[in-house]
Amino acid sequence: MVLFRTRSAAVYGIDAHPIDVEVDMYASGSARDFITVGMPDTAVKESRERIKSALINSGFGYPNKSVTINLAPANVRKEGAGFDLPMALGILGAMGLVKRCDEHVLVGELSLDGSIRPVRGVLPIAICARAQGAPNLVVPRENAAEAAVVEGIRVYGLAHLAEVVSLLTEPEKFRPAERTAPAEAAGEAFALDFADVRGQATAKRALEVAAAGAHNVLMIGPPGSGKTMLAKRLPGILPPLAFEEALETTKILSVAGQLPKGAGLVRERPFRAPHHTVSDAGLIGGGTGTPRPGEVSLAHNGVLFLDELPEFPRNVLELLRQPLEDGSVTIARSNMTLKFPASFMLVAAMNPCPCGYFGDQTHECRCTGAIIQRYLAKISGPLLDRIDLHIEVPAVAYKELRAPADGASTAEMRRRVEEARAVQRARGFYNAHIPHRLLRKLCALDEAGERTLELAVRRMGLSARAHDRVLKVARTIADLAGSETVTARHVAEAVQYRSLDRQYWG
> From start to end of 159-222, where are the E strands?
217-220
Q: Which of 212, 129, 111 is nearest to 176 (CA)?
A: 129
Per-residue confidence (pLDDT) for residue 505, from 0 to 100: 67
CA–CA distances in Å: residue 199 to residues 57, 229, 237, 434: 65, 12, 18, 33
Per-residue confidence (pLDDT) for residue 460, from 0 to 100: 84
Cis before 274 (ω within 30): no
- The DSSP bridge partners found for residue 104 are 136
Specify the CATH number of the domain 187-411.
Answer: 3.40.50.300
Per-residue confidence (pLDDT) for residue 189, from 0 to 100: 45
Q: How far is residue 481's CA from residue 245's CA, in Å, rounded to a whole number? A: 27
Percentage of the chain exceeding pLDDT 90? 63
Q: How far is residue 260's CA from residue 279's CA, in Å, rounded to a whole number? A: 24
For the chain, how many helices (H) and strands (E)? 22, 18
Architecture of domain 434-506: Orthogonal Bundle (1.10)
Per-residue confidence (pLDDT) for residue 399, from 0 to 100: 78
Per-residue confidence (pLDDT) for residue 2, from 0 to 100: 61
In the chain, residues under CATH classification 3.30.230.10 are: 2-173
Q: Which of 266, 267, 330 is nearest to 297 (CA)?
A: 330
Burial 431-458 (b: 16+ CB within 10 A, else e): bbebeeeeeeebbebeeebeebbeebbe
Per-residue confidence (pLDDT) for residue 401, from 0 to 100: 74
Q: With contact defined as beta carbons under 8 Å apart, do 435 and 476 qualify?
A: no
Specify the CATH number of the domain 2-173.
Answer: 3.30.230.10
In the chain, residues under CATH classification 1.10.8 are: 434-506
Q: How far is residue 227's CA from residue 225's CA, in Å, rounded to a whole number? A: 6
Q: Which of 315, 262, 307, 258 is nearest to 141 (CA)?
A: 262
Q: Please, what is the angle between helix 410-427 and helix 201-213, to 10°?
A: 30
Return averaged pLDDT per consecutive 10 residues of the chain, 506 residues in all.
86 92 82 86 90 95 91 89 94 90 94 95 95 95 92 95 94 88 50 83 93 95 91 92 91 90 84 94 85 93 95 93 91 83 95 89 88 91 90 84 76 94 92 90 90 89 86 95 92 88 66
Q: With contact defined as beta carbons under 8 Å apart, do 296 and 283 qualify?
A: yes
Per-residue confidence (pLDDT) for residue 451, from 0 to 100: 92
In the chain, residues under CATH classification 3.40.50.300 are: 187-411
Q: With contact defined as beta carbons under 8 Å apart, do 205 and 378 qualify?
A: no
> From start to end of 359-463, where are the E strands?
389-392
Per-residue confidence (pLDDT) for residue 187, from 0 to 100: 43
